[in-house]
Structure 1
Amino acid sequence: MIGPVLAIVVLVLTWGRDLPALVVTLVAVVLGGAVLAAVHHAEVVAHRVGEPFGSLVLAVAVTIIEVALIITLMLSGGAKTASLPRDTVFAAVMITCNGIVGLSLLLGALRYKVTRFNAEGTGAALATVATLTTLSLVLPTFTTSRPGPEFSPSQLTFAAFASLGLY
């Protein structure tokens, strides 16, 4: 119970201030600890509820943490952070598709010499990721209802429901 209280105290004491490097490092360590504790609790819940709901619990927990961090950065950064959500989603897609998959294949090949995977599940997952990526990162560039790579409110509503349906 001390963790969330400590996190709120640190947030209140540091909000909107220019901090020395030592304090920024301390805040980063506390934030990292809070995130790891939250993910650990989500993992405990995921083990208790079992598959497939456990995977959903973990995915939702990580998504909530990521969205909270993005919103916090956007609130403290002003107008210059408008592209932060799009850039973060792109980074997550790249890390997932290239980093995690590549590392898994490399480590599997080093350990077992031949790596096997479920092509049926892999194809469905990659198709969903490709569709969500196109919908959220590529399509806004080609819409003409608003200047820049932005959806109009009705397009954003459609994209939200389409993403929810795919999820």
Structure 2
Amino acid sequence: MSTATRKSPLTDWTVLVPVVALVALVFSWGRELPSLGVALVALCLAGAVLAAVHHAEVVAHRVGEPFGSLVLAVAVTVIEVALIVTLMLDGGDKTASLARDTVFAAVMITCNGIVGLSLFVGALRNRVAVFNPEGSGAALATVATLATLSLVLPTFTTSKPGPEFSTAQLTFAAVASLALYGLFIAVQTVRHRSYFLPVESAGPTGAAGADGDGDHEAERPTPRAALISVGLLLVALVAVVGDAKSVSPTIEKGVAEAGLPNAVVGVIIA
């Protein structure tokens, strides 16, 4: 492609969307928005989330696996926690269970929807879905244990009424969760790093993938591109938090007017 027709990186949607979302935040902050304004800010919010994940993937590709997965996990966690905290601050007592509802929805969507769809698409493309059983098993065991500790056990405790931990129980759950996740990170990045590296996928013809095109063959981003993505990732995350605060009253009002339970807000975030 000639220089004259080459697309400028500055006009790429992953660059423009975070900037536009940040501008939308400036103009919407502290104001009561009309319906059209809420729709525009919500659109900017969705675009900022997608842009943030894109730039996190660029950084992840630069640092390589398994550290790239940690970058993606941190970016997505920041987005989700920011949305939860923003909605909880504005929602009062009725959003007390929002964090639990969101985490439960995220676990269900990930383990049943995303994993199932990945296996299905992988089998369609390559006849056999290839994955690393050791790494996948360790990740699934960690998620299942953390979900049981934080989502299931509060239902059976009796120190406080309702599905709620006492202060001592909450402290234990927090320390145990941090210890377990720290152990998983050590296994992923040091002890058994090979368990979490991409597996070469062989298609029916023996080539990488059904079409000979694998993700591992993608060109590695340059240090300059990775630094730019880090900056744009931070811009996108700021825009996500701010825009979420601007549209959160409308989300909660819409769920209430539709007669849906508050847990639906958690599903929307997830």
Q: TM-score, normalised by structure 1?
A: 0.87
Q: Cα RMSD (Å) of the superposition?
A: 2.0
Where 2:29 maps in the other structure, the secondary structure is helix
Query: More deviation in 66-75 or 47-56?
Result: 47-56
2:247 is aligned to none
2:108 is aligned to 94
1:6 is aligned to 23
2:123 is aligned to 109
The residue identity in structure 2 corresponding to 1:6 is V
Give the direction of change, closer, same or farther, for the CA distance of 1:4–1:108 in structure 2 (3 Å limit). Answer: closer
Instruction: Say whether the 8 Å CA contact 1:42–1:58 is kept in structure 2.
Output: yes
Instruction: Say whether the 8 Å CA contact 1:143–1:149 is kept in structure 2.
Output: yes
Deviation string, structure 1 residues 78-97 (Cα, Å, up to 9, x no partner): 11111111110111111111
The residue identity in structure 2 corresponding to 1:75 is L
In 2, Cα distance between equivalents of 1:161 and 1:134: 15
In 2, Cα distance between equivalents of 1:163 and 1:140: 14
The residue identity in structure 2 corresponding to 1:96 is T
2:78 is aligned to 64
Instruction: Say whether the 8 Å CA contact 1:43–1:58 is kept in structure 2.
Output: yes
2:145 is aligned to 131
Compute the displacement of 1:3 (Å).
Answer: 4.7
Deviation string, structure 1 residues 5-63 (Cα, Å, up to 9, x no partner): 4254145144xx4x443222111111122222322332232223222222111101110
Give unpaired runs (5+ residues) of structure 2. Answer: 1-17, 182-270
Q: Give aligned pairs, total.
A: 164
In 2, Cα distance between equivalents of 1:25 and 1:33: 12
Give the direction of change, closer, same or farther, for the CA distance of 1:20–1:8 in structure 2 (3 Å limit). Answer: closer
Higher RCO structure, 1 or 2 (CA under 8 Å, sep 6+): 2
1:31 is aligned to 45
2:254 is aligned to none
2:173 is aligned to 159
- 4+ runs of 1 displaced by more than 3 Å? 1-5
Larger gyration radius, structure 1 or structure 2: 2
Query: More deviation in 23-32 or 86-95?
Result: 23-32
1:77 is aligned to 91
The residue identity in structure 1 corresponding to 2:75 is A
Compute the displacement of 1:67 (Å).
Answer: 0.2
Structure 1 residue 50 corresponds to structure 2 residue 64: yes
Compute the displacement of 1:124 (Å).
Answer: 1.4
In 1, Cα distance between equivalents of 2:52 and 2:94: 29
1:140 is aligned to 154
The residue identity in structure 2 corresponding to 1:166 is L
Instruction: Say whether the 8 Å CA contact 1:39–1:58 is kept in structure 2.
Output: yes
In 1, Cα distance between equivalents of 2:85 and 2:24: 16
Give the helix-richer structure, 1 or 2: 1
In 2, Cα distance between equivalents of 1:131 and 1:11: 41
Where 1:149 maps in the other structure, the secondary structure is coil
